[in-house]
Structures are given as structure tokens and as C-alpha cells.
Chain A
Amino acid sequence: MTVFKAYLKIMLCNIGLIVMYVAISVLVVYLNTMNAPAPSTYEDITVNMAFIDRDNTVFSHKFCEYVGSYADDVLEVEDEEHAIQDFIYDDYTRVLIIIPAGFEEAALRGEAEVSQKWSMEGVSMIAEMHETRFLTSMNALARSGMSRDEILKQMEKTSETDAEINMIGNLEEKDNRGGTIFAVFSAYPVMAETILIVGTVACVFNAQTVKRRNEVSAMPMWKLNTQLMIGNLLFCVLLVAILWVACCFIAPNTAMSMTGVMMFVSMLALAMTFSAMASLITSFVKKREVLSGMQTVIPLGLSFISGIFLDSSLLTGEILNVAKFFPTYYYAQSIERIGAYTEFGATQWGEVLSSIGIVLAFGAGYYVLMLIITNVKRVKNKNK
């Protein structure tokens, strides 16, 4: 197994780079999983709010107390132009509500109004509903002729009222969001590392002197190629194993469950596909610098368009149509589906295996293309 040992030596020479990329990738993936809420029962979607109270009266305080009770978090913000700009820009889940001076006088006439600032309309609608509830009730009471004290007393009762609604949800959310995000994001380091290592080994073996020496050696080419493929497979398995270990710390519920098994088998298929892609790249790229460029551009580009860095629901149809030409799209879709599974019967396994099949089919395609290019080049060189 001379070639296999040489493969391991080349891998060990690049161990520093491998460790660095894996460590940074796991850190990045972990930080992204921090933003993954996983409610298992129904909860109102809440937003972060801040109030600028320019009236500072009982009525304005009552308003802030009522609306603020429905907020995820009530934040502080200075009543200053730049502070307001930063507040809205920094986080699209925030809404800023401004209570103008003269709010109480307007409320007693039944014409109380507030203004709000936001950066995402859906978020603003949630806050607006609570504000409208309070203001409609208060203004109606004022217009009906009630006195100031009567309005305040009635608003206490009104604010205690919540609709008697029985929520019956068929919620299928499980506590897998963290693990799903981990598995989806991990596609980036899998792609980058596989292209790096498999590409580096291929570059070494494709060097002219090494290639010519191998061609005249006693070892048949099929044996050499088989040992290289075993090396590629071993690298893929090791990489996925390291990421699984990391997932055991970050999302242990997912990693140790059938969901985790499905996810990491899919990840292994993706790694094998990208090892084939790396072989294809090295059939026409000889320089390490160019390979290094490919190792950054290809994973980054595919991660953006395939729904790995951004959810696929945020991507336009045209982008998704382009992404469908690459295995990463099917991988990301498959991981999202696996994360939502509540049972693991034949149907679910069928869906997972079919997605794995699609990803591996891409790998087979890349491998066949590599063989074609290599043979064409060999024939061309022979004719020279």
C-alpha cells in the first residue's frame, strides 16, 4: 500500500491547514447555531421594542407598559438621530415606537396616535397589532365620553383580557434546529477541506516527474488509482467523524439520534462527491495557487446560492434554478427535511437515500468527466 502511505504523508504535511480550517469552521458553525430557537410548543413570535416617550404622562406609561409586555425584550435607546438610525439598522427584529408630546391630551379627545420605525415590515406588523389594540380601546372609551379616571380604570380591565382561544397545534417542530443548522453549515468546511486535501494529493501525483515515474513503475495504474480512492474515502470519513464529534458537543440531542445518523451519512456522501469534484478540478489545474483559489471560490459561491449560508426561502427562483445544477442544493434540502422528521420509517429512509443518491450521482458524473478529460489529454500527448 505504498501509494496509500504516501497519501497519508501528504495529508499529514497539511495537517496544520486542516486543523485550522476545521477549528475555524466549527467555531463559525457553533456561533450560527446560537441563533437557532427551537420551540416545541406554540409561542407568539415576539419582537424587540424600544420606546421613546416624549410625553411622559400616566397614559404614555400605561401604553408602554401594555405594549412592552408583549415584547421579547424592551431595549433602551437615546432620543438622538444617530442612535435611532443604529438601533433600526443593527437588528431587523427591532421596532422603535415614538410617543409624541401631547399624547395624553390627544388620548382624552380620542385621537391618540404613535409612530413607529422598523426595517422589516413583518416585524413591524406584530408590534403594530398590540399598539392598535391598546389605542383603539382607549380612543373608543374617550370618544364615548368617559372621564380620565374612568378610562384608566377600564384600560386596566381591558389589558387583563386575553381571548379565550384553545390552541390545538399539530406542531412538528422538534429540538433539531441547532443540529440542522450545524449540518447545513458544515457543508462549507466539508467542501473546502475536501477540495484542498484531495486536490493537493492529486497535484502531487499529477506532477510530471511523479506521473512519468508511476507510468513506468511495476505497479499497475488501477492499483495506484484504487489506493488513491481509498485514501480519499478515508479522508472523507475522518473529516465527517471530526464534525460529528463537534456536533456531539454543540447539538448532542441531534448528533446521538437517528436524525444525526441520517445527517452525517448525507454529509459523507457530499464529501465523497466533492472529492470527485476535486479530482476533476486537478485534471485541468496544475498549480497549487490556482487550486487554493478554487478551494475558496467554489465552496463560498455554492454555499451562498444553495441555501447553506442563507435559508433557501430567502433566495430568488433564478438563483435556486442555478443551484439545482450542484449537489449542495440537494444536500441542503435533504438536511432541512431530515431535521423536520418525527418518525424514521421506510418512507423517510427512502427520501434520504434518494437525496444521497442524487448527490452521489453528481460525484459519479464529476468522476466520469475527469476520466474523459484525462484520456483526451493522454491521447493528445501521445499524438505529439
Chain B
Amino acid sequence: MFWRVFKTKLKVLLRNKSCLFWVLIFPFIMAILFNAAFSGLNAMKESKSSKVAVVQDALSENSEWRMFFKELDKHKSFEISFTSAENAKKKLDDGEVQSYIDFKDDKAHLFIKENNIGQTLIKNALDQYAELNTTAAAIAQTSPEYLMREDGFSKIMTEDFVKDDNTEHTDFTVNYFFTLMAMAALYASLIGIELTKNNEANLSTKGARLSVSPTNKTMVMVADLLVGFVVCSIQQLVLYFFIRFVLGVQMAAEPGWTLLISMMGVLAGLSLGIFVGASNKKSEGLKNGLLISVIMLCCFFAGMMGDPILRDKFETMMPLFAKVNPIAAIADGYYALFAYNGDMEYYWQAFARIAIFAGVMLALSLVLSRRKRYDSI
């Protein structure tokens, strides 16, 4: 009997086009959009050179400034061009350079039009020049021969004393995909609302018919829940492989653990939908709107929309909400698999958070749905 009800409910769900759109198609559309939009972010992470024009009118051929800028041009962070004063101003106005430097009484004057990394870099380079001059003057008083040596002061200026040591997972754009998968899991709540509508006597004629039929209501609800759970879990697995292998986004390499937390997220979504569906008699449109708004808000606080650093700011401002937010809990589970190289403690903490959320929602839904009697409908 149970499996017959299960098969029937599966057929009904697969014919519900609007539900299927939200659960099966919308996450894939968003994944494609994200991948297209965020590929530019990966390019932004690589720095661009600071383009600087140097006015050469007041500089002699052997000027120390000229030698300094020629050395600076060899650095990957700068593109130095020597030009006339008029041309430099024009280049700045046209946006060809980010700044230009003119000289008066051997003092550098920096001209800029906006406040950005490029301008800061050239200003710091000029500060460094002044500082090294002071250092050279101090060395000249105690060990002038060091300044003359070939392997002396001029050599040290070309050495690199800062090593980059990036062994961590630093691609912050994956958080958008983590939150997308979490959102897709929580969209199972729309199936939960549909489930409640079909099983509650005061919400639909189908529900009224079910309540007077001899079929065990609990068995029907469990079958309905299982159908939603199976369909959404398959969707989560397919979405994971789509994001990882088709879009080429660097996700966690453990599909098993990823699916496990996704399935708990699906259960949380279903129970959230049942809770919202059973908690009031408002129209289906309003309930769906409310659910989607709540899920989008949770997605926003988990860092899905806007600057990636906002997620950390919200976690600092509202730590309790960050712990309770189901989207953040699922995304944290994915992050633990992505970044912590086999250390499962953080993963299980995230799993526990979403499991507690699902448990609370299920318990509340049970309280609202069980043993209802109606004088009239």
C-alpha cells in the first residue's frame, strides 16, 4: 500500500510543472548565470599594472629619478612611460594612465584623478624612494664603500624579501555556489507547501477527501515526504556534478559527504515548507512568496548577493542568526569539505546545525498537523 501511494505521489509531483521548475530548473539557471557573472571576478583577483606617466622635461639623462623609474618599470606592478607635461595631463584626462608625475626643484608632484590601488602603489613607490635615500645617507656616513660595491646597495634593491606562501583554498567565489546549492536544497520547501495543501482538510478538497478516506493519513504524509526527499536529493546530486564538472567550479571532492549534508538540507527545506503550509490559512501565493522571501533573505546573509566580504561582516554582527541560518549551515558544511582537507569536525558541526533546524521544523509541523478535527470546512 505504501509503495503504491509513493508511486502515485511521485507521478503527481512530476506533473506539477511549477514546483518542478523551482526545484529542478531554477537552480541550474542560477548556476549558469553565476558562472558567467563570476568568471570576471577571477580575472579581478589578478592585479593589473599601475600605469604612470613621468614628465621628462625637467629630468636629465643621468638623473636619479630617471634611473629609479626605469628600475620601477621592470616591476610587474608598474607601467612607466616618459612623456611631456602636456601629453601626461592629456593621458590622465583620457584615462590612459592612472597618474602622472611632474618635477619641481627635484621634488616629485603626483597628479591623480581617482582613489584606487594603482594610485596608492605609485605613492608608496615614491615613499620607498625617499626612505631608501635616507638609508643610503646613513650608510654613507659609516660604510661608504658598501654603496660603491657592485653587490652592495644597488643589488639589495633588486632582491625580494617577501615570499608568497598561498597553500590555502582562497577562491572566495565558490561561496556563491555553496549558497546556491543550499538554496536549491531549501527550495524543497515549496514541495512541502504543496504536500500540506494536499493533505490538510481545511486547505484543499483533496485534503478533505483524504481526511475522510480510510487510508492512514500518516502513511500518506510519509509517502509524500519521501517522494519530495528523493526527487530533491537526486536534484542535489545532479546539481553538484553539474557545477563541479560541467561548469568547472572547484567544489569539494567528496560527493558522498556533500550529498549527505545536501539531503539533510532537503529535509530541512521540506519540513520548513510543511510548517509554513500548516501554520496558516493564507493563500498559496502568499505562502510561496513568504517562503521565497525568507529563503532569499537567508541567502543574502549567507553571502550570496553582493560583496563577498559582507558574509563575514554579518557573521560578526549577528553571530546567533548566522548559526541558525539554514543556508549558512549548509554552505559551511560544503566549505568544511572544500577547505579543511579531511578534518570533519567543522563539517559535523554544520551538519548538526541543519539537523537541529530540520528537527525543530518537523516537530512544529507535527504539532500543527496531527489529530485535527473540523466542525465544518
Contact = CB atoms under 8 A, between A and B. Distances in A.
A172 to B, nearest CB: 7
Nearest to B165: A115
Contacts of A224: none
B117 A305 contact: no
Interface in B80-129: 107-117, 119-121, 123-129
B47 A118 contact: no
Interface in A289-320: 289-290, 292-293, 296-297, 300-301, 304-305, 309-310, 313-316, 318-319
Report which residue of B117, B125, B310 has the largest number of chain A beta carbons within 10 angstroms of its beta carbon: B117
Given A17-B289, A126-B124, A316-B39, A112 B340 contact: no
A149 interface: no
Contacts of B305: 28, 32, 309
Nearest to B89: A170
B111 A170 contact: yes
A129 B75 CA distance: 12
A315 B368 CA distance: 47
Interface residues of B, number: 97
A314 B161 contact: no
Contacts of B116: 45
Contact of A31 (B44, B142, B153, B310): B310
A10 to B, nearest CB: 12
Interface in B322-377: 335, 339-340, 343, 346
Contact of A297 (B29, B121, B136): B29
Contacts of A98: 165
B316 to A, nearest CB: 10
B309 A314 contact: no
A309 B26 contact: no
Nearest to B306: A32
Interface in B141-196: 142-143, 146, 152-153, 156-157, 159-172
Contact of A143 (B113, B156, B290, B314): B156
Interface in A116-158: 116-122, 124-126, 128-133, 135-137, 139-141, 143-146, 150, 154, 157-158
A20 interface: yes
A351 interface: no
A374 interface: no
A161 B138 CA distance: 13
Contacts of A42: 112, 115, 119
Interface string B227-262: 000000000000000000000000000000000000
Contacts of B77: 125
A136 to B, nearest CB: 6
B293 interface: yes
Nearest to B140: A144
Given A84-B168, A89-B169, A165 B163 contact: no
B1 interface: no
Contact of B292 (A164, A167, A296): A296
Contacts of B26: 293, 296-297
A118 B166 contact: yes
A141 B140 CA distance: 10
A133 B128 contact: yes
B130 to A, nearest CB: 4
Given A24-B296, A165-B109, A297-B29, A144 B146 contact: yes
Main secondary structure of the interface of B (DSSP, over half): helix
Contacts of B339: 85-86, 89
Given A118-B170, A314-B41, A157 B134 contact: yes
B45 interface: yes
Contacts of B136: 140
Contacts of A314: 40-41, 44
B218 interface: no
B290 A20 contact: yes
Given A112-B161, A124-B164, A166-B109, A85 B340 contact: yes
Contacts of B310: 31-32, 35
B124 A145 contact: no
B320 interface: no
A170 B164 contact: no
A42 to B, nearest CB: 6
Contacts of A287: 18
Given A88-B168, A92-B308, A125 B289 contact: no
B285 interface: yes
Nearest to A153: B138
Nearest to A170: B113
A185 to B, nearest CB: 8
Interface stretch (B5-13, B30-38, B199-207, B263-271): B30-38
Nearest to A306: B37
B3 to A, nearest CB: 29
A140 B120 contact: no
Nearest to B292: A296
Nearest to A173: B115
Contact of A24 (B111, B126, B297): B297
A16 B293 CA distance: 12
A171 B297 CA distance: 37
Contacts of B112: 42, 167, 169-171
A132 B164 CA distance: 13
Nearest to B46: A121
A212 interface: no
B362 to A, nearest CB: 25
Contacts of B314: 31
A129 B172 CA distance: 24
Contacts of B21: 290, 293
Nearest to B335: A89
Given A166-B107, A292-B289, A316 B309 contact: no
B153 A122 contact: no
Contacts of B17: 290
Contacts of B306: 31-32, 35, 309-310
A44 B109 contact: no
B43 interface: yes
B212 interface: no
A172 B91 CA distance: 17
25 contacts: A20-B289, A20-B293, A31-B314, A35-B313, A42-B112, A45-B117, A88-B168, A98-B165, A114-B161, A120-B47, A121-B46, A122-B45, A125-B47, A133-B124, A146-B142, A161-B134, A163-B127, A163-B131, A168-B109, A297-B26, A300-B30, A309-B305, A318-B36, A319-B36, A319-B39
Given A292-B289, A293-B18, A310-B40, 16 more contacts: A89-B170, A114-B162, A117-B165, A117-B167, A117-B168, A132-B128, A139-B159, A140-B135, A145-B142, A146-B143, A150-B142, A171-B114, A296-B26, A304-B34, A305-B37, A319-B39
Closest 5 CB pairs of A and B: A289-B18, A163-B130, A119-B170, A135-B161, A115-B165
